C-alpha cells in the first residue's frame, strides 16, 4: 500500500460512516442484512457467540463461503483473519475482499507481531481498546479502527469503556502542553508523529467505528452518541428472536442516533435480544479483548 492506495482505503472507510456492518454466515443472512440497510457485511463461518461457545482454534472462513456472500450482495464485503496471519490476509486480498478485519475474535496466529498492513493493497480494520493500541495499528497500516468491546457477549460495557478511553485520551492530547507530548507518546506506546498530529488537529488519523457487544438499537445509538462513526454488530442480529426486525431497528437507530422518538419507535415490540454474558462470569483468559497488543 503506497500513499495513493492509503488515500483510497481510508476513503472507503469514510464512505462506510454512519452505517451498520453486520456479521453474516451465509448468503441468505447477507441478503437480510443488505435489505435492512447494512452498509457492509462481515462474512464469517461462525458468529462470535458461537466461536466462544465452541472453543478450539478459530480461523479465517472458507473462501468459498466468502465468495458466495460477495456474489449475493452489492455492498462491500469484509472478512476476518487471525491476528498476525499474513497468509490468510493474502488469500482474502487475492479473492478481492473489500476490507480485511485482523480480528481478536479469531485465535491469534502470532504472539508478538500484527500483520504488516503496508504490504497489502486491500484495506484493513483492526480492534483497539485505547488510543495507544489504535495508533500502533494505524502505524502498521490499518485504514479503519473499531473498538474491540467484548465480542459475542451481548454486553456493551466493554465497548463503551474502549470508546470512552479513546475519546478521553484524544481530548487530553489537545489540551496538554506541547512539551508533554513526548511523555504522553511514551505512556501510550504510540509514535510521536501520530500523537503530535492528533494534538494539532484534534482528530484521529482514520475513522473510528465501534464493535463488541451490541445487542439492541439503544446500544448502537449510545455508541454513536459517544462519537463512534459506525457500528459493527456481530451476534446481536442473527442470535436475536427476529433477525430482520433487529437488523432494521439497529440501522434506524444508528442513522437517527440523536432522535429518541425514532429510537423509541424501533425499540418497541422488538422481541428478544441475543443471549448475554456478564463480564464477572468470564475469566480473564476468556476475554477476546486481551488478544493483540
Partner 1 sequence: MIIGVLALQGGFALHLEKLHALNIETKRVVCEDDLKELHGLIIPGGESSTILRTAQSGLLQAIKEFAHSRPVWGVCAGCVLIASEVVNPEQMSLGLLDITVRRNAYGAQNESFIRRIDFGSPLGGDFECIFIRAPRITHVGKNETTVATDRDDPVMVENKLHMATTFHPELSDKLDFHRYFLRKIAM
C-beta separation of 9 from 1 below 8 A: yes
Within 100-159, the residues that bind partner 1 by CB under 8 A are 121-123
Q: Choose, by CB under 8 A, the member of 86, 99, 124, 238 that binds partner 1.
A: 99
Beta bridge partners of 25: none
Nearer to partner 1, 7 or 164 (CB): 7
> Over the range 251-285, which residues count as b (16 or more CB within 10 Å of their CB) and which as e?
bbbbbbbeeeebbeebbeebeebbebbeeeebeee
The CB-of-39 to partner 1 minimum distance in angstroms stands at 5
Catalytic site residue from 7, 27, 46, 80: 80
Nearer to partner 1, 97 or 134 (CB): 97
Largest Cα separation within the chain, whole Å, is: 55
Nearer to partner 1, 83 or 250 (CB): 250
User: What is the distance of C-alpha 265 from the center of its chain?
Assistant: 26
Interaction between residue 277 and partner 1 (CB under 8 A): no
Separation between Cα atoms, residue 279 and residue 62, nearest integer Å: 31
Positions of E strands within the chain: 20-24, 40-43, 77-82, 99-103, 124-128, 144-147, 208-209, 231-233
Contacts of 64 by beta carbon, 8 Å cutoff, 6+ apart: none
Q: Is 27 a catalytic residue?
A: no
Interaction between residue 38 and partner 1 (CB under 8 A): yes
The CB-of-251 to partner 1 minimum distance in angstroms stands at 6
Nearer to partner 1, 34 or 184 (CB): 34
Interaction between residue 264 and partner 1 (CB under 8 A): no
Interaction between residue 252 and partner 1 (CB under 8 A): yes
The CB-of-249 to partner 1 minimum distance in angstroms stands at 12
Q: Which residues does the annotation mark as catalytic?
A: 80
Binding site for partner 1 (CB under 8 A): 4, 7-9, 11-12, 14-19, 34-40, 70, 74-77, 93, 96-99, 121-123, 229, 251-252, 255-256, 259
Amino acid at each position: 500500500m503506497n500513499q495513493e492506495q492509503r488515500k483510497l482505503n481510508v476513503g472507503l472507510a469514510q464512505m462506510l460512516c454512519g452505517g451498520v456492518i453486520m456479521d453474516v454466515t451465509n448468503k441468505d443472512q447477507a441478503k437480510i442484512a443488505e435489505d435492512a440497510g447494512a452498509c457492509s457485511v462481515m462474512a464469517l463461518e461462525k458468529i462470535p457467540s458461537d466461536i466462544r461457545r465452541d472453543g478450539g482454534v478459530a480461523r479465517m472462513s472458507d473462501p468459498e463461503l466468502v465468495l458466495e456472500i460477495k456474489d449475493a450482495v452489492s455492498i462491500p464485503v469484509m472478512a476476518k483473519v487471525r491476528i498476525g496471519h499474513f497468509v490468510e490476509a493474502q488469500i482474502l486480498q487475492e479473492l478481492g475482499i473489500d476490507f480485511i478485519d485482523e480480528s481478536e475474535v479469531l485465535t491469534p496466529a502470532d504472539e508478538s507481531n500484527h500483520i504488516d498492513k503496508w504490504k497489502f493493497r486491500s484495506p484493513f480494520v483492526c480492534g483497539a481498546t485505547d488510543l495507544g493500541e489504535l495508533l500502533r495499528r494505524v502505524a502498521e497500516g490499518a485504514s479503519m479502527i473499531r473498538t474491540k468491546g467484548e465480542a459475542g457477549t451481548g454486553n456493551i460495557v466493554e465497548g463503551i469503556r474502549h470508546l470512552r478511553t479513546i475519546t478521553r485520551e484524544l481530548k487530553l492530547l489537545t489540551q496538554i502542553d506541547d512539551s508533554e507530548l513526548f511523555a504522553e507518546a511514551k505512556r501510550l506506546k504510540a509514535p510521536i508523529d501520530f500523537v503530535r498530529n492528533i494534538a494539532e488537529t484534534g482528530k484521529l488519523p482514520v475513522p473510528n467505528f465501534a464493535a463488541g457487544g451490541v445487542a439492541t438499537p439503544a446500544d448502537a445509538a449510545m455508541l454513536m452518541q459517544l462519537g463512534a462513526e459506525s457500528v459493527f454488530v456481530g451476534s446481536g442480529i442473527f442470535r436475536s428472536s427476529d433477525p430482520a426486525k433487529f437488523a432494521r431497528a439497529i440501522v434506524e437507530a444508528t442513522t437517527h442516533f440523536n432522535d429518541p422518538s425514532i429510537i423509541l419507535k424501533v425499540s418497541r415490540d422488538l422481541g428478544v435480544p441475543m443471549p448475554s454474558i456478564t463480564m464477572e462470569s468470564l475469566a480473564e483468559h476468556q476475554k477476546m479483548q486481551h488478544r493483540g497488543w
